[in-house]
Chains A and B, each alone.
Chain A
């Protein structure tokens, strides 16, 4: 009897355990998750053993990337090649003093952004609002906006206080690019490459890589090892909002934004600040952020009917002005320059961060222009940018008044014959005091370094193209002085 009872209880226990097993989930880990986690762990292991990545640029740990282990290995190799005591991406600014004229003659300086200003540079560029591009091509010179302008010549007149240059030498800063590179042979040797002989490229260096988050509204991280820059951008495949599926005008019209849908500047800046803080991107090397609302300058001047058809950009661009040695950076158009963060109005989140660079610089003293009359003359020509006056009979002339200048640094690119150096040149920035409607731009820039000023051509002589059969005489047009 007792045996039967025990057997019965055993059978019941077996049944019970079977039922308990039946309510257990058979869920398996997602293979993508497994790969992603494995890659993350490789990074942790590398850090445990080699103490690689800096604490200051800790935003990379916030990303859940589908990073192949080999990419992390590449980063590990960079550290090994660079020396284990070197920081790869220091957040704290470091300036090393070099001798006078250490960067050579600064006679080949680009006056237009090579592509790294304003978020437009790098192999995988951050999106630049169309309105911002329009602004950059037209500032102060009457063209390039979405409205067909009347040909307008601007006559710049200095209306500020007396000023002087009390130094004959000033520091030019040069950004130290890159943080080493990875020997391609060591990198590729981890893989079995079958479609070509990888050994043929044995002397190559890994200069750039991109990784992406495979999730809705995930980001891509574009790392340029050679330039020493990082851009964060949309992983386009995972940012497919309905407006991006449009094929017809009706569809585009349906998703057109209205001005009231654009958040206030304060709200956008709060969101971009929060993003930077969340991702550990330090703001200590930047000045107060500001929203670039160039499209509003056009929009406000439109008639009601034209406003109805005006394209309002769906991203808001915020510039965080870079500071080098405490001075804010400008581009040659007089706009603040530095790190750019774009905010998508459609999905209410940051869509890109561009111009995250290492903060290592060298400083070298160069001769500066002290002749105030020459500086004023250049300012009253419109400053450093090339100026092409209109010669049409219908062109009008508008006065632009310039205010007392202040000192700042202008970001330029020094051409070394196919290689470009990122330099920051001491300059005078003349704020626009008053200007007619239609004038774009907030300031006029005059670099002070003699090499740079002396190498810039005078404003060109423009001859109108002769029109055969119309008997229009050629005429020479010279710029106003």
Chain B
């Protein structure tokens, strides 16, 4: 039942968002993983292009609520990443946990660089390079590190509920 699958994905997304924003939870040296983005990457690897696009967009919009960014900024970035990841997995690449690690790293790198450019670099704040080294990079690595766990969970859900090949 595809509808039930998407209900589970949605509940998982909501849980990931709430967990990633809970103060103090999963915090290591002041850094936390972006679970919603990692989940969007994993779902995009298994699902169709259009559904991956909208799921990734929702993950990004949820992230926008808590991240003090223009509403739609992360939604747009994750939508584009979700489309690309889905296309790559349909036509060229296998869905493996190692690929999920790679995709998540690249998606977070793109988001981090755009975030750095539009919210720090262009405003000319002194010491902006510290943001890259002390914030963006550690968050990227932490998020990529937890991606395989979410990948296994998404794979389990997908295998249980999907019956037809994705279009």
Do A and B assemble together?
no
Which A residues fall within an 8 A CB radius of B?
none
